[in-house]
Amino acid sequence: MTWISTFTGRHFNYTAPSVDDVDIHDIAHHLSLINRFCGATHWPYSVAQHSIGASYLVPPEFAFEALMHDAHEAYVSDMMSPLKLLLPDYQRVENNVEVIVRLRYGLPLKTIYGHPRFCNTDF
């Protein structure tokens, strides 16, 4: 099985992801329940909280992109970077899902976080 059922009941297929399977309600719900840093914080800190915070740290014209910068994690979770480096197949799937989410919401395929102006925003 290479698919998951989402909060809204959609089937999201990792081997053939489609923009039609991406839903903002799933993204909001899933990210609100995924803890950053594998929960290694003193209090719950969700990916949704992080994304909302990031959206306030950039100029208004980039707020939606900042809000959605980790939206793909609704489908692939928030894996810690040191572990992610050891799993090239996971990285490939994550990259594919990120592209699908960006296409679904009309976001540029190249994230603003590679730009020096925003590199410290993704805390």
Residue of higher predicted confidence among 69 and 119: 69
| 121 has a pLDDT exceeding 80 | no
| DSSP-assigned letter for residue 30 | H
Q: Using an 8 Å Cβ cutoff, are 55 and 112 in contact?
A: no
pLDDT 10s digits, 80-110: 989 999 999 999 999 999 999 999 999 988 7
pLDDT 10s digits, 54-83: 999 999 999 999 999 999 999 999 999 899
- Note the residue count of the chain: 123
Q: Which amino acid is at 58?
A: V
pTM of structure: 0.89
Architecture of domain 3-11+20-114: Orthogonal Bundle (1.10)
pLDDT band at 1 (very low <50, low <70, confident <90, very high): confident
Looking at residue 115, what is its pLDDT? 54
pLDDT 10s digits, 11-24: 999 999 999 999 99
Give the residue-averaged pLDDT of 1-16: 95
Looking at residue 112, what is its pLDDT? 58
Report the C-alpha dihedral over residues 21, 54, 121, 32, rounded to 10 degrees: -60
Looking at residue 109, what is its pLDDT? 86
Residues forming a β-bridge with 5: 11
Domain ranges of the chain: 3-11+20-114
